[in-house]
Amino acid sequence: MQALLSFDQAPPLAAPLRFFLTAPLFAILAALLLLWSGPDLFASRWTGAALALTHLITVGFMLQVMLGAMLQILPVVAGANIARPQLLATLVNAAVATGALLLASGFLSYQPLLFELAAVLIGGGVALFIVGAGHALYGVPSTNATIRGLKLSLLGLTVTICLGVLLAVAIDGSLALPLMQLTSIHLGWGFVGWSVVLLAAVAFVVVPMFQMTPAYPEWFAGRFSWTLLTLLVLWSVADSAGWQCLSPWLAAAAVLAIAAFAALTLQLQSRSKRARFDATQHYWRLAMLSTLAACALWLAASSWPSLGERSEWPLLCGVLALFGGFMSVMIGMLYKIVPFLVWSHLQNLGRGRVFPPNMNKVIAGHQLNRQMQAHFVALALLLAAVLWPEWFTYPAGLALLAANAWLLRNLLAAITFYRQQRLTIEETLTHVSAAPAEAR
């Protein structure tokens, strides 16, 4: 009730934007890393450069976008208000960004100290966010699938990070832990327990709402995240206990559930009542197709040993999931969230007397489409680079660089637009209020 009373108090514009602007910087770093390390990066998923790349995207890009979006979304879907959003955003953003940089340098140099510092900063930053958001969410009943999904994905994130921190501390061999197993459990929780659960929680609301599709069936939306997390827990237990007869089946069940989610989303999208497909919708469709492809590849590699032995398939799965799936949805969502936020803040500044231009004017439509095409090309080239590294690594690096520099450019254009319009609005308002005085 207390939270509800103030549920118009959206956080200031700078709070979420700080996270959104940091994200493309990390994708740019990932592209530079690719260009710097060259084809060697794709030798296996275990090269330092591949691990650094993975975390530049997961912790550097995805985590930043998620935190910024949560900050904005919690007041809307849950009526939950975060105290001191500006301060919380600054601290969390700085800690997670620095941590991601240290983690990537850790993977490139294998200096234990870098891993430890990264663990403290990322762990601390996310813990701070969870305390801040959790405080706001406390007492808000989980009345719908979104709130439940968001809470569950925070849980998945926490487990992922705890395992990551454990790995980071154990990496110098001091703790005699089964590192390979821990890594695969960390990976499972990162991709499934955090990322897919988050993706689904967002999809259940956003797809029907903005793409005007029928709703996800109740039985599916209500059970999906729980089922996935239960499978994940069972799989983690089976895997660490070494029950080799059980754990592949549990993993396969989880992958099938994810594939069902992606297929269902595509099917709903094909029934969209909207006449025009914009960049966001194309991004969503690409993401679901990539997710489906990643699941199919995973199942194929686990069923046919001759395929499963090759070192390319995990990298292909990783590229499909990260660049094709999660990043695509996130960029697509940024293209709605950022223009709407800018419009809505300008609207409030105008106090009902001056009206800002509509949200499609915030970032020019053709810039969105070109950036999207660059992203699609980057994805195709990255997939090709996994298979033929000598040929495609450099083109892929360049395309990734271009796509994300463009993304940054588009987000900065939104901020420039905001600043210009704010000036116009303030000028008009002073004229309006001065006018009656002059008339007298």
Partner 1 sequence: MHEISELMTKDHRSCDDFLAVVEKAVTDQNWQLAQAEFPRFRDALLNHFEAEESILFPLFEKRTGMYQGPTQVMRGEHVQMRQLLAAAEAALAEREADDYNGNAETLLIMMQQHNVKEENILYPMCDQQLADQLDALLPELQKQLAG
Composition of the chain by helix, strand, coil, percent to 5: 85, 0, 15
Write out the two tokens for 136.
């706001």
Q: At what angle do helices 112-137 and 145-170 cross, to 10 degrees?
A: 160
Q: How far apart are CA 310 and CA 300, in angstroms?
A: 12
Report the site for partner 1 in 97-136 (rule: CB under 8 A).
Answer: none
Examine residue 276 and tell whether it contacts partner 1 (CB under 8 A): yes
- 275 touching partner 1, by CB under 8 A: yes
- State the DSSP H helix or E strand holding residue 317, giving kind and residue range, or none if neither: helix 312-319
> Does the footprint of partner 1 cover residue 336 (CB under 8 A)?
yes
Closest of 87, 125, 127, 122 to residue 101, by C-alpha? 122
244 binds partner 1 (CB under 8 A): no
Residue 142 neighbours by CB distance under 10 Å: 14
| Structure-block tokens of residue 251 | 């993993």
**Region of 17-25, 205-213, 372-380, 406-414 interacting with partner 1 (CB under 8 A):** 205-213
Provide the minimum distance between the beta carbon of 10 and ligand HEM in the complex, in angstroms, as a whole number.
Answer: 26
What sign for the dihedral angle of Cα 308, 310, 314, 320?
negative
Residues near ligand HEM (CB under 6 A): 45, 51, 54-55, 58-59, 63, 103, 118-119, 122, 160-161, 164-165, 167-168, 171, 179, 183, 186-187, 190
Give phi and psi for 389, each to the nearest 5.
-55, -40
Of the ranges 85-93, 216-224, 293-301, 342-350, which one interacts with partner 1 (CB under 8 A)? 342-350
Tokens matching residue 379:
């994805």
Q: What is the closest distance, in whole angstroms, from the C-beta atom of residue 261 to ligand HEM in the complex?
A: 18
How far is the CA of 207 from the CAs of 81, 97, 280, in angstroms?
25, 30, 10
Q: Does 432 contact partner 1 by CB under 8 A? A: no
Region binding partner 1 by CB under 8 A among candidate stretches 3-11, 51-59, 256-264, 394-402: 3-11
Report the residue from 36, 110, 226, 340 that binds partner 1 according to the rule CB under 8 A. Answer: 340
Smallest separation (angstroms) from partner 1 to the CB of 3: 9
Stretch that binds partner 1, among 155-163, 186-194, 352-360, 404-412 (CB under 8 A): 352-360
Q: How many CA atoms lie within 13 A of 287 on its CB side?
A: 28
- Does 217 engage in binding with partner 1 (CB under 8 A)? no
Nearer to partner 1, 5 or 423 (CB): 5
Q: Which does 274 bind (CB under 5 to 8 A by kind): ligand HEM, partner 1, none?
A: partner 1
Question: Residues 43, 166, 184, 210: which binds partner 1 (CB under 8 A)?
Answer: 210
Nearest Cα to 231, choosing from 249, 250, 248? Answer: 250
Give CA–CA dist 358/147, Å, rounded: 30
For 275, residues 6+ apart whose C-beta sits below 8 A from its C-beta are none
- Residues near partner 1 (CB under 8 A): 4-5, 7-8, 76-79, 143-144, 147, 205, 209-210, 212, 273-276, 336, 340, 343-344, 347, 352, 355, 357-361
